Structure 1
Amino acid sequence: MATEIHRRTLISGAMATGLLSPLFAAPAASAGASAGTAPLGSQLRRAVPADPQTIDPQDSAYWAQVAAQFDVTKAIVQLENGNWGSMARPVEQAYARKLAKVNAENSYYARRGFWQDILPVRARAAAILGVEPEEIAFTRGATEALQTLIAGYNHLRPGDQVLYSDLDYDSTQAAFRWLKQRRGADLVTFALPEPATHQGLIDAYARALEANPKVRLMLLTHVGHRSGLVTPVKEIVALARARGVDVILDSAHAWGQLDFTLPELGADFVGLTCQKWIGAPMGVGLVYIRKDRLDAIDPNMSEVGNPDHGTQSRVHTGTASFAGYLALADALDFHEAIGIRAKEARLRFLRDRWAEALRGHPGLEILTPADPRLTSALTSFRLRGQTSVVQNKALAATLLDRFGIFTVHREGLASGACVRVTPAIFTAEADIDRLVAAMKTLAG
């Protein structure tokens, strides 16, 4: 986004209550929808009628209707949906309309129309997350959001410690190592226990903080991208705060598949993405800074003249995907038409259908525990004793080449490499059963 547009929007946004009212008057509507186009939520409910509060995660007929809203390849069984999430067809079509409008109207729209459309989208995302619009800002993804928070954090002094675990994402680990180089902070790393338990995870962070009393900043991952482990965020954030430690929370894999609001978690600084489990176009993320902690994150170098203009002044992405940001409204329509509780239950049902069915098999290691408080759609496994990267790359290749099942190997866990399995809401039970059969064959 051009600085001129960005600055003008921040100023007008503070007064633009009129711009926000249309969306909140009809929260299911898509901002910027074409005239005569029914809101996506209404479209989906007509195509897949159900009450989001009563949807059964095992209702195959209902979920087949949901799956019919996605145009995904049938050439393989796609069980690697953790990289990013496919848009549902109505979202993709809305995105195409918005892209055509932006392309046709060019800078006339960018400078005169975009912000009256995007501010309600931001307000709606904020409402779902349980925060104020000025506390979130658009980024191009969770990585940009998290690196903005890490690089901008200004409470470190030489000799302070920063902490992360083996669960945390590679690029955020790298950003914490950067803090050692650029801020003089001492780096502390540790491995989370396996097998994990709810209390065991809390205790592991407590021990790490107790052993390192100079820790000032800690990285915490909500849902681990390597194994899918869900950490007890609320409890860990609380114990960190009690020790005067700030937490930067990576919720990239959490928003859209777990039922939460940001105030419930208690973290002051959070990075999220909309292109995974919310199902928005690629290149759409969010950064959150609690308003009374804004001073802990430096303004972006391009926004030093606007230091008090909310979280937006801490980010400057340049010219971004206008159509992608606008289509977040349509993705939220689709997301809410199904409901977060129904999505979470369905994804956990699909996960349990293979992971718990195979737990205890002598030839397999299921890396995420059975405790539903610690599970998500993502779960990893390995053939027993096979912990090398080479072995797990080969295992993922075998699943694809021999059985037509696409997964991905992951590395970086202290216990070794693994293969990650990630269903989506369009995944059928038959796809999971095909995986189970293949794994039994390979494990002997």
Structure 2
Amino acid sequence: MKDEKANFKLHHSHFRDLWTLDPEITFLNHGSFGACPKAVLAVQQKLRSQLEQEPLRFFGREWEPLIDNARNQLAEFVGADSEDLVFVNNATTGVNSVLRSLTFSSNDEILTTNHEYNACRNALDFIASRTGARVVIAKIPFPIESPQQVIAAVMERISPNTRLALLDHVTSQTGLIFPIQQLVQELQQLGIDTLIDGAHAPGMISLNLREIGATYYTGNCHKWLCAPKGAAFLYVRRDRQSQIRPLTISHGANSPRTDKSRFQLEFDWTGTDDPTAYMCVPDAIAFMGSLLPGGWNELRQRNHQLVLEARQLLCQALEVLPPCPEEMIGSMAVIPMLGALENRHFMTVHDELFDKFGIQAQIVPWHESPKLLLRISAQIYNTLEQYVYLAKALREL
């Protein structure tokens, strides 16, 4: 296996050279933190130099037009009006901003699922402990046979006290695309607001926030969009914007300006920070969309097909069945780890893959059988041979 590891860099895609990723590592975990291309990092460095050369001019004159331009182009990409978007550091901040802005009572229920991202579940528990509201869990099976099981599980847990539903668009642990638009519509008909954690969605799947119709939607730009770290957005429906405040209250709270909404005035400036990650979002959109002749549609389809092929060969290697239908997969897929691997600690398996074989893949603990999941990602710099190598490493483990 050592000889295979030494020679494996020969199987790397030529697209790999567009990133600063370590050539000695078989990087199959784009989904966790993303990876920013060299060309976009160069734009960010230029902006940082511009900032530091004359900070007062930058923040006084240049900062706002750059932010507005980035917002306009991002809004077009995700199918929203720019007036309904603000930048935040990450999707977790977006979720917290909404939850901390709303008022709950001890009679209220907040609905989520057993697939909810841990950080956001912690935010829910924090709000519940402060307000007395009850967190209700819709238990979605995994493995799963169809998206309809998601809808049925969520709707079964609705009650007259359900005030808000916090739902993933793409689940982190299990890599499932939830039928968000149908869920939002059914909940909306019952007068229930929706907060959608779309951390993985921008760049992985085609987005149209107007059609989805969620009350609140937050997504990361540093994952599949490949912007620098620290770039995400929060969408708030126009009729709810006056209620939603940033976690940090700053100058926008009493700004005399009337050319922008209070919503944007508050979120756009929450204190001195490095805003260059936001400003690079248009460059990330343009760069990733230029890599293949068919643009973003071809890129998304290419990544989708690659992860399906990788899932198939890994399921065969581990002698397990695919845990969900292909229609619920974007650019990430999860494979159950049964047999001898299932009873090992997830970090032990992760560390052995990394230390012995130079493979970076996500190993996920799950609260039911199968207790251990392997999550793989597929980005344009990945090749099928890399997953063949992963399968061999897993068999050796």
TM-score range, shorter chain: 0.7 to 0.9
C-alpha distance 169-406 of structure 1, shift in aligned 2 (>3 A)? same
C-alpha distance 214-414 of structure 1, shift in aligned 2 (>3 A)? farther
Given that 2:90 and 2:232 are in contact with CA atoms closer than 8 Å, whether structure 1 keeps it comes out as yes
1:191 aligns to 2:161 (yes or no)? no
Matches within 5 A, 1:304-323: 304-305=253-254, 309=261, 311-313=263-265, 315=267, 317-323=270-276
C-alpha distance 413-343 of structure 1, shift in aligned 2 (>3 A)? farther
The corresponding residue for 1:433 is 388
Residue of 335, 343, 352 corresponding to 2:308? 352
The corresponding residue for 1:240 is 187
Write the distance in 2 (CA, Å) between the matches of 1:362 and 1:76.
22
C-alpha deviation, 1:187, in angstroms:
1.6
Given that 2:308 and 2:333 are in contact with CA atoms closer than 8 Å, whether structure 1 keeps it comes out as no
C-alpha distance 388-436 of structure 1, shift in aligned 2 (>3 A)? closer
Matches within 5 A, 1:76-91: 76-91=25-40
Higher deviation after alignment, 273-282 or 344-353: 344-353
Residue of 342, 356, 377 corresponding to 1:402? 356
1:162 aligns to 2:117 (yes or no)? no
Higher deviation after alignment, 400-409 or 127-136: 400-409
Matches within 5 A, 1:50-69: 64-69=13-18
1:329 aligns to 2:282 (yes or no)? yes
The corresponding residue for 1:265 is 212
Structure-1-length-normalised TM-score: 0.78
Gaps of 5+ in 1: 1-62
Write the distance in 1 (CA, Å) between the matches of 2:288 and 2:187.
32
C-alpha deviation, 1:298, in angstroms:
4.8
1:116 aligns to 2:72 (yes or no)? no
Letter matched to residue 427 of structure 1: N
Write the distance in 1 (CA, Å) between the matches of 2:340 and 2:286.
43
Structure-2-length-normalised TM-score: 0.87
Residue of 322, 333, 348 corresponding to 1:379? 333
RMSD of aligned Cα (Å): 2.4
The corresponding residue for 1:149 is 98
C-alpha deviation, 1:312, in angstroms:
2.0
Given that 2:304 and 2:330 are in contact with CA atoms closer than 8 Å, whether structure 1 keeps it comes out as yes
Write the distance in 2 (CA, Å) between the matches of 1:354 and 1:202.
28
The corresponding residue for 2:240 is 293
SS in 2 for 1:83: helix
Given that 2:311 and 2:333 are in contact with CA atoms closer than 8 Å, whether structure 1 keeps it comes out as yes
Q: Alignment length, in residue pairs? A: 375
Letter matched to residue 134 of structure 1: E
Letter matched to residue 402 of structure 1: K
The corresponding residue for 1:5 is none
Gaps of 5+ in 2: 1-11
The corresponding residue for 1:48 is none
1:132-152: CA deviation from partner (whole Å, max 9, x where unpaired) = 212111111111111101111
SS in 2 for 1:240: helix
Write the distance in 1 (CA, Å) between the matches of 2:107 and 2:343.
35
C-alpha deviation, 1:299, in angstroms:
6.6
Given that 1:138 and 1:285 are in contact with CA atoms closer than 8 Å, whether structure 2 keeps it comes out as yes
SS in 2 for 1:218: strand
C-alpha distance 364-104 of structure 1, shift in aligned 2 (>3 A)? same
1:409-436: CA deviation from partner (whole Å, max 9, x where unpaired) = 2235444342322232211222122123
Given that 1:297 and 1:314 are in contact with CA atoms closer than 8 Å, whether structure 2 keeps it comes out as no
